[in-house]
Structure 1
Protein backbone atom coordinates (compact mmCIF):
# COMPACT_ATOMS: atom_id res chain seq x y z
CA UNK A 1 0.00 0.00 0.00
CA UNK A 2 2.84 2.40 0.84
CA UNK A 3 4.43 1.72 -2.56
CA UNK A 4 1.09 2.39 -4.28
CA UNK A 5 0.71 5.75 -2.48
CA UNK A 6 4.26 6.71 -3.43
CA UNK A 7 3.59 5.93 -7.09
CA UNK A 8 0.35 7.94 -7.02
CA UNK A 9 2.11 10.86 -5.33
CA UNK A 10 4.91 10.86 -7.87
CA UNK A 11 2.31 10.71 -10.62
CA UNK A 12 0.53 13.78 -9.23
CA UNK A 13 3.74 15.75 -9.06
CA UNK A 14 4.65 14.56 -12.55
CA UNK A 15 1.45 16.10 -13.94
CA UNK A 16 2.60 19.52 -12.74
CA UNK A 17 6.15 18.94 -13.91
CA UNK A 18 4.83 18.02 -17.36
CA UNK A 19 3.04 21.37 -17.45
CA UNK A 20 6.24 23.35 -17.08
CA UNK A 21 8.72 21.86 -14.68
CA UNK A 22 9.70 22.51 -11.08
CA UNK A 23 10.20 26.22 -11.70
CA UNK A 24 6.60 26.62 -12.83
CA UNK A 25 5.28 24.55 -9.93
CA UNK A 26 7.16 26.78 -7.51
CA UNK A 27 6.03 29.93 -9.26
CA UNK A 28 2.40 28.81 -9.18
CA UNK A 29 2.66 28.05 -5.49
CA UNK A 30 4.07 31.45 -4.62
CA UNK A 31 2.39 33.81 -7.08
CA UNK A 32 0.61 36.66 -5.34
CA UNK A 33 -2.35 37.08 -7.68
CA UNK A 34 -4.27 34.06 -8.87
CA UNK A 35 -6.05 33.89 -12.21
CA UNK A 36 -9.54 35.35 -11.76
CA UNK A 37 -10.86 35.34 -15.35
CA UNK A 38 -11.46 32.50 -17.80
CA UNK A 39 -13.54 31.39 -20.78
CA UNK A 40 -16.01 28.53 -21.07
CA UNK A 41 -18.37 27.80 -23.98
CA UNK A 42 -17.75 31.21 -25.51
CA UNK A 43 -18.41 33.15 -22.30
CA UNK A 44 -16.00 35.09 -20.13
CA UNK A 45 -16.23 34.50 -16.38
CA UNK A 46 -14.70 36.53 -13.56
CA UNK A 47 -14.54 35.69 -9.85
CA UNK A 48 -14.33 38.32 -7.10
CA UNK A 49 -15.35 38.89 -3.50
CA UNK A 50 -17.51 41.58 -1.90
CA UNK A 51 -17.84 42.26 1.80
CA UNK A 52 -21.45 41.67 2.88
CA UNK A 53 -21.19 41.93 6.68
CA UNK A 54 -18.79 44.23 8.52
CA UNK A 55 -18.66 42.53 11.96
CA UNK A 56 -17.84 39.71 11.92
CA UNK A 57 -16.52 40.16 8.38
CA UNK A 58 -18.25 38.00 5.79
CA UNK A 59 -17.36 38.12 2.10
CA UNK A 60 -19.56 36.81 -0.71
CA UNK A 61 -17.65 34.98 -3.45
CA UNK A 62 -19.21 36.10 -6.73
CA UNK A 63 -18.94 34.68 -10.22
CA UNK A 64 -19.89 36.98 -13.10
CA UNK A 65 -20.68 35.87 -16.65
CA UNK A 66 -20.24 38.58 -19.28
CA UNK A 67 -22.57 39.04 -22.24
CA UNK A 68 -20.90 38.92 -25.65
CA UNK A 69 -21.48 37.88 -29.25
CA UNK A 70 -19.85 34.52 -28.56
CA UNK A 71 -21.75 33.78 -25.34
CA UNK A 72 -25.15 32.10 -25.80
CA UNK A 73 -26.42 33.32 -22.41
CA UNK A 74 -27.08 36.71 -20.89
CA UNK A 75 -24.86 38.49 -18.40
CA UNK A 76 -25.40 37.32 -14.84
CA UNK A 77 -23.73 37.26 -11.44
CA UNK A 78 -24.20 34.64 -8.73
CA UNK A 79 -22.82 34.06 -5.25
CA UNK A 80 -21.12 30.66 -5.19
CA UNK A 81 -20.11 30.72 -1.52
CA UNK A 82 -18.86 32.91 1.27
CA UNK A 83 -15.70 33.42 3.26
CA UNK A 84 -15.03 34.48 6.85
CA UNK A 85 -11.33 35.00 6.12
CA UNK A 86 -10.63 38.71 6.55
CA UNK A 87 -10.26 39.24 3.66
CA UNK A 88 -10.08 36.00 1.66
CA UNK A 89 -6.38 35.57 0.95
CA UNK A 90 -7.16 34.02 -2.39
CA UNK A 91 -9.86 33.70 -5.02
CA UNK A 92 -9.00 31.80 -8.18
CA UNK A 93 -10.68 30.57 -11.35
CA UNK A 94 -9.96 27.99 -14.05
CA UNK A 95 -12.26 27.32 -16.98
CA UNK A 96 -12.58 25.33 -20.18
CA UNK A 97 -15.41 23.89 -22.28
CA UNK A 98 -16.36 21.46 -19.50
CA UNK A 99 -17.06 24.11 -16.88
CA UNK A 100 -15.79 26.74 -14.50
CA UNK A 101 -13.86 25.99 -11.30
CA UNK A 102 -13.77 28.60 -8.54
CA UNK A 103 -11.50 28.38 -5.49
CA UNK A 104 -11.32 30.54 -2.38
CA UNK A 105 -10.05 30.47 1.18
CA UNK A 106 -12.43 30.47 4.13
CA UNK A 107 -12.62 29.88 7.85
CA UNK A 108 -15.49 29.52 10.27
CA UNK A 109 -14.13 31.86 12.95
CA UNK A 110 -12.28 31.49 16.24
CA UNK A 111 -9.31 29.11 16.20
CA UNK A 112 -10.58 27.24 13.15
CA UNK A 113 -8.11 26.56 10.35
CA UNK A 114 -8.17 28.39 7.05
CA UNK A 115 -9.26 25.95 4.39
CA UNK A 116 -9.95 26.06 0.65
CA UNK A 117 -13.30 25.57 -1.06
CA UNK A 118 -13.36 24.57 -4.74
CA UNK A 119 -16.63 24.73 -6.69
CA UNK A 120 -17.54 23.44 -10.16
CA UNK A 121 -20.03 25.89 -11.65
CA UNK A 122 -22.10 25.14 -14.76
CA UNK A 123 -21.53 27.80 -17.45
CA UNK A 124 -25.18 27.91 -18.54
CA UNK A 125 -27.16 27.81 -15.27
CA UNK A 126 -24.39 29.17 -13.01
CA UNK A 127 -25.38 26.54 -10.47
CA UNK A 128 -22.80 24.77 -8.30
CA UNK A 129 -22.42 21.23 -9.67
CA UNK A 130 -19.74 20.02 -7.28
CA UNK A 131 -18.17 21.23 -4.04
CA UNK A 132 -14.72 20.01 -3.03
CA UNK A 133 -11.92 21.42 -0.96
CA UNK A 134 -8.68 21.15 0.98
CA UNK A 135 -8.59 21.11 4.79
CA UNK A 136 -5.70 21.49 7.26
CA UNK A 137 -5.34 18.79 9.90
CA UNK A 138 -4.86 21.16 12.88
CA UNK A 139 -6.76 24.04 14.45
CA UNK A 140 -5.40 27.56 14.00
CA UNK A 141 -3.43 26.65 10.86
CA UNK A 142 -3.60 27.84 7.29
CA UNK A 143 -3.75 26.88 3.67
CA UNK A 144 -2.80 30.27 2.29
CA UNK A 145 -3.70 29.76 -1.35
CA UNK A 146 -4.96 27.40 -4.03
CA UNK A 147 -4.18 28.71 -7.48
CA UNK A 148 -6.26 26.73 -9.96
CA UNK A 149 -5.26 25.47 -13.38
CA UNK A 150 -6.38 22.78 -15.82
CA UNK A 151 -3.99 20.01 -16.83
CA UNK A 152 -2.95 19.30 -20.42
CA UNK A 153 -5.57 16.52 -20.70
CA UNK A 154 -8.33 19.14 -20.28
CA UNK A 155 -10.09 17.18 -17.55
CA UNK A 156 -7.71 17.38 -14.57
CA UNK A 157 -7.95 20.32 -12.18
CA UNK A 158 -4.69 21.22 -10.45
CA UNK A 159 -4.50 23.37 -7.33
CA UNK A 160 -1.11 24.61 -6.15
CA UNK A 161 -0.33 26.77 -3.17
CA UNK A 162 1.32 27.30 0.17
CA UNK A 163 0.40 26.20 3.68
CA UNK A 164 1.85 25.96 7.18
CA UNK A 165 0.54 22.52 8.15
CA UNK A 166 -0.32 19.18 6.56
CA UNK A 167 -3.46 18.98 4.42
CA UNK A 168 -5.81 16.10 5.10
CA UNK A 169 -4.85 13.24 2.77
CA UNK A 170 -1.47 14.57 1.65
CA UNK A 171 1.77 12.67 1.20
CA UNK A 172 5.23 14.17 1.28
CA UNK A 173 6.31 17.14 3.40
CA UNK A 174 6.88 20.84 2.97
CA UNK A 175 5.07 24.17 2.85
CA UNK A 176 4.04 23.90 -0.80
CA UNK A 177 1.57 21.47 -2.28
CA UNK A 178 0.03 20.19 -5.48
CA UNK A 179 -3.52 18.81 -5.42
CA UNK A 180 -4.62 16.92 -8.53
CA UNK A 181 -8.36 16.35 -9.08
CA UNK A 182 -8.80 13.80 -11.92
CA UNK A 183 -11.88 14.30 -14.13
CA UNK A 184 -12.90 17.23 -11.93
CA UNK A 185 -15.80 18.37 -14.13
CA UNK A 186 -17.28 14.90 -14.73
CA UNK A 187 -16.68 13.00 -11.47
CA UNK A 188 -16.36 13.36 -7.72
CA UNK A 189 -12.99 11.61 -7.47
CA UNK A 190 -10.89 12.69 -4.49
CA UNK A 191 -7.67 14.58 -5.18
CA UNK A 192 -4.14 13.28 -4.84
CA UNK A 193 -2.23 15.81 -2.70
CA UNK A 194 1.56 16.00 -2.59
CA UNK A 195 3.50 18.34 -0.30
CA UNK A 196 7.04 19.41 -1.20
Structure 2
Protein backbone atom coordinates (compact mmCIF):
# COMPACT_ATOMS: atom_id res chain seq x y z
CA UNK A 1 0.00 0.00 0.00
CA UNK A 2 1.44 3.36 -0.96
CA UNK A 3 1.77 6.28 1.41
CA UNK A 4 -0.72 8.48 -0.44
CA UNK A 5 -3.87 6.54 0.62
CA UNK A 6 -2.76 6.93 4.21
CA UNK A 7 -2.53 10.68 3.74
CA UNK A 8 -6.27 11.12 3.20
CA UNK A 9 -6.86 12.15 6.81
CA UNK A 10 -7.61 15.78 6.20
CA UNK A 11 -9.97 16.95 8.90
CA UNK A 12 -10.13 16.70 12.63
CA UNK A 13 -13.18 17.75 14.56
CA UNK A 14 -12.12 18.89 17.98
CA UNK A 15 -14.69 19.39 20.70
CA UNK A 16 -13.30 20.89 23.87
CA UNK A 17 -15.22 22.37 26.75
CA UNK A 18 -13.92 25.67 28.10
CA UNK A 19 -15.34 24.79 31.52
CA UNK A 20 -12.92 21.93 32.12
CA UNK A 21 -14.78 18.78 31.17
CA UNK A 22 -16.47 16.90 28.40
CA UNK A 23 -19.75 18.43 27.35
CA UNK A 24 -22.77 16.58 28.72
CA UNK A 25 -23.67 15.21 25.27
CA UNK A 26 -20.17 13.71 25.05
CA UNK A 27 -20.18 11.98 28.44
CA UNK A 28 -20.00 8.18 28.20
CA UNK A 29 -23.35 6.49 28.72
CA UNK A 30 -23.79 3.96 31.54
CA UNK A 31 -24.10 1.27 28.83
CA UNK A 32 -20.67 2.18 27.43
CA UNK A 33 -19.00 -0.66 29.32
CA UNK A 34 -16.49 -0.94 32.09
CA UNK A 35 -14.03 1.88 32.65
CA UNK A 36 -11.09 -0.49 32.13
CA UNK A 37 -12.45 -1.54 28.72
CA UNK A 38 -12.91 2.10 27.70
CA UNK A 39 -9.39 3.00 28.84
CA UNK A 40 -7.92 0.00 27.01
CA UNK A 41 -9.71 0.98 23.81
CA UNK A 42 -8.13 4.43 24.03
CA UNK A 43 -4.61 2.98 24.36
CA UNK A 44 -4.66 0.15 21.78
CA UNK A 45 -5.62 -0.32 18.15
CA UNK A 46 -5.07 -2.50 15.08
CA UNK A 47 -3.81 -1.44 11.66
CA UNK A 48 -2.97 -3.79 8.77
CA UNK A 49 -3.12 -6.79 11.12
CA UNK A 50 -0.65 -5.26 13.58
CA UNK A 51 -1.41 -4.31 17.16
CA UNK A 52 -0.40 -0.81 18.24
CA UNK A 53 -0.31 0.71 21.71
CA UNK A 54 0.56 4.04 23.26
CA UNK A 55 2.23 4.04 26.66
CA UNK A 56 4.11 6.36 28.99
CA UNK A 57 7.00 5.88 31.39
CA UNK A 58 8.03 8.17 34.24
CA UNK A 59 11.74 9.06 34.17
CA UNK A 60 12.55 9.95 37.81
CA UNK A 61 15.32 12.46 37.16
CA UNK A 62 15.41 16.05 38.31
CA UNK A 63 13.15 17.43 37.01
CA UNK A 64 11.06 14.29 36.46
CA UNK A 65 9.44 13.79 33.06
CA UNK A 66 7.49 11.21 31.06
CA UNK A 67 8.52 9.53 27.82
CA UNK A 68 5.56 8.69 25.58
CA UNK A 69 5.98 5.53 23.45
CA UNK A 70 4.31 4.11 20.36
CA UNK A 71 4.64 0.31 20.21
CA UNK A 72 3.90 -2.17 17.43
CA UNK A 73 3.42 -5.83 18.41
CA UNK A 74 4.61 -8.75 16.31
CA UNK A 75 2.01 -11.41 15.55
CA UNK A 76 0.99 -13.97 12.94
CA UNK A 77 -1.27 -11.36 11.31
CA UNK A 78 1.35 -8.59 11.25
CA UNK A 79 3.83 -8.44 8.36
CA UNK A 80 6.20 -6.20 10.33
CA UNK A 81 8.54 -6.77 13.25
CA UNK A 82 7.82 -5.55 16.75
CA UNK A 83 9.02 -2.00 17.22
CA UNK A 84 8.76 0.92 19.60
CA UNK A 85 9.80 4.54 19.61
CA UNK A 86 9.56 7.58 21.85
CA UNK A 87 7.05 9.94 20.25
CA UNK A 88 6.97 12.64 22.90
CA UNK A 89 8.09 13.96 26.27
CA UNK A 90 6.05 15.73 28.96
CA UNK A 91 6.94 17.40 32.24
CA UNK A 92 3.48 16.49 33.60
CA UNK A 93 1.73 13.11 33.65
CA UNK A 94 0.25 13.14 30.12
CA UNK A 95 -3.22 11.87 29.21
CA UNK A 96 -2.61 9.63 26.15
CA UNK A 97 -4.78 7.96 23.51
CA UNK A 98 -4.52 6.02 20.25
CA UNK A 99 -6.85 5.14 17.38
CA UNK A 100 -6.04 3.01 14.34
CA UNK A 101 -7.45 1.62 11.12
CA UNK A 102 -5.85 0.30 7.93
CA UNK A 103 -5.08 3.85 6.75
CA UNK A 104 -2.85 4.56 9.73
CA UNK A 105 -2.33 5.05 13.43
CA UNK A 106 -3.23 8.29 15.22
CA UNK A 107 -2.00 9.27 18.68
CA UNK A 108 -2.81 12.18 20.93
CA UNK A 109 -1.40 13.36 24.20
CA UNK A 110 -1.46 16.49 26.34
CA UNK A 111 2.03 17.55 27.31
CA UNK A 112 3.97 20.25 29.11
CA UNK A 113 7.00 21.01 26.95
CA UNK A 114 9.14 22.54 29.72
CA UNK A 115 9.56 22.14 33.49
CA UNK A 116 9.02 25.90 33.81
CA UNK A 117 6.03 26.89 35.90
CA UNK A 118 4.89 29.26 33.16
CA UNK A 119 4.91 26.62 30.39
CA UNK A 120 1.42 25.76 29.21
CA UNK A 121 -0.01 22.32 28.43
CA UNK A 122 -0.70 21.56 24.75
CA UNK A 123 -2.24 18.70 22.78
CA UNK A 124 -0.24 16.92 20.10
CA UNK A 125 -2.08 14.84 17.47
CA UNK A 126 0.09 12.69 15.19
CA UNK A 127 -0.53 10.20 12.37
CA UNK A 128 1.96 7.36 11.79
CA UNK A 129 2.52 4.97 8.90
CA UNK A 130 1.73 1.44 10.21
CA UNK A 131 4.53 -0.20 8.17
CA UNK A 132 7.42 2.13 8.97
CA UNK A 133 6.08 3.87 12.10
CA UNK A 134 7.25 7.09 10.43
CA UNK A 135 5.46 10.32 11.24
CA UNK A 136 3.05 11.22 8.42
CA UNK A 137 1.63 14.45 9.85
CA UNK A 138 1.13 16.24 13.15
CA UNK A 139 -1.00 19.04 14.53
CA UNK A 140 -0.57 20.87 17.81
CA UNK A 141 -3.69 22.18 19.55
CA UNK A 142 -2.67 25.17 21.67
CA UNK A 143 -4.55 27.80 23.68
CA UNK A 144 -4.07 31.24 22.15
CA UNK A 145 -0.90 33.07 23.25
CA UNK A 146 -0.11 30.30 25.73
CA UNK A 147 -2.63 31.84 28.13
CA UNK A 148 -4.28 28.55 29.01
CA UNK A 149 -4.01 24.80 28.73
CA UNK A 150 -5.33 21.85 26.75
CA UNK A 151 -5.23 19.50 29.72
CA UNK A 152 -6.73 16.44 28.05
CA UNK A 153 -7.23 15.24 24.48
CA UNK A 154 -8.56 11.86 23.36
CA UNK A 155 -8.43 10.82 19.70
CA UNK A 156 -10.86 8.64 17.75
CA UNK A 157 -11.51 7.81 14.09
CA UNK A 158 -15.04 8.42 12.82
CA UNK A 159 -17.03 5.72 11.04
CA UNK A 160 -16.09 7.18 7.63
CA UNK A 161 -12.54 5.96 8.37
CA UNK A 162 -10.84 9.19 7.30
CA UNK A 163 -11.95 11.78 9.87
CA UNK A 164 -10.11 12.09 13.16
CA UNK A 165 -11.97 13.50 16.17
CA UNK A 166 -10.23 14.86 19.25
CA UNK A 167 -12.17 15.59 22.44
CA UNK A 168 -10.88 16.96 25.70
CA UNK A 169 -10.64 20.00 27.93
CA UNK A 170 -9.18 23.47 27.45
CA UNK A 171 -8.98 26.65 29.51
CA UNK A 172 -9.03 29.29 26.78
CA UNK A 173 -9.57 30.02 23.08
CA UNK A 174 -7.61 27.90 20.60
CA UNK A 175 -5.25 29.29 17.98
CA UNK A 176 -4.20 28.05 14.56
CA UNK A 177 -6.38 26.53 11.87
CA UNK A 178 -9.31 26.08 14.24
CA UNK A 179 -12.74 27.61 14.02
CA UNK A 180 -15.71 27.46 16.37
CA UNK A 181 -18.78 26.04 14.62
CA UNK A 182 -20.75 26.22 17.87
CA UNK A 183 -20.42 26.60 21.64
CA UNK A 184 -17.59 24.39 22.88
CA UNK A 185 -16.97 22.87 19.44
CA UNK A 186 -13.76 23.37 17.50
CA UNK A 187 -12.95 22.16 13.97
CA UNK A 188 -9.32 21.95 12.83
CA UNK A 189 -7.94 21.05 9.41
CA UNK A 190 -5.00 18.64 9.53
CA UNK A 191 -3.61 19.22 6.04
CA UNK A 192 -0.10 17.95 5.38
TM-score of the superposed pair, with normalisation by structure 2:
0.72
Contact 1:64 1:77 in 2 (8 A): yes
Matched with 1:63 is 70
Measure the CA separation in 1 of the matches of 2:153 and 2:146: 19
Stretches of structure 2 that go unaligned for 5 or more consecutive residues are 1-12, 15-22, 30-34
| Alignment counterpart, residue 93 of structure 1, candidates 58, 83, 98 | 98
TM-score of the superposed pair, with normalisation by structure 1:
0.71
Matched with 1:25 is 26
Measure the CA separation in 2 of the matches of 1:121 and 1:112: 27
Greater length-normalized contact order (CA 8 Å, ≥ 6 residues apart) = 2
Q: What is the CA-CA distance between 1:35 and the residue it aligns to?
A: 0.2
Question: Given the superposition, is the C-alpha separation of residues 53 and 140 from structure 1 closer, same or farther in structure 2, using an over 3 Å criterion?
Answer: farther
The answer as to 2:177 corresponding to 1:171 is no
Question: Given the superposition, is the C-alpha separation of residues 139 and 114 from structure 1 closer, same or farther in structure 2, using an over 3 Å criterion?
Answer: same
Contact 1:80 1:119 in 2 (8 A): no
4+ aligned runs moved over 3 Å, structure 1 = 31-34, 176-181
RMSD (CA atoms): 2.8
Contact 1:162 1:177 in 2 (8 A): no
Query: After superposition, what is the alpha-carbon deviation per residue over 1:12-65, rounded to whole angstroms, capped at 9, x for unaligned?
Result: 58xxxxxxxx8663439xx99470000000011010111235222222110111
Question: Given the superposition, is the C-alpha separation of residues 100 and 24 from structure 1 closer, same or farther in structure 2, using an over 3 Å criterion?
Answer: farther
Contact 2:181 2:187 in 1 (8 A): no
Matched with 2:61 is 54
Query: After superposition, what is the alpha-carbon deviation per residue over 1:170-193, rounded to whole angstroms, capped at 9, x for unaligned?
Result: 42676x545455xx6xx52xxxxx
Stretches of structure 1 that go unaligned for 5 or more consecutive residues are 1-11, 14-21, 189-196
SS for the counterpart of 1:35 is helix
- Comparing both structures, which one devotes a greater share of its residues to strand? 2
Q: How many residues align?
A: 161
Measure the CA separation in 1 of the matches of 2:83 and 2:55: 14
Measure the CA separation in 1 of the matches of 2:66 and 2:185: 26
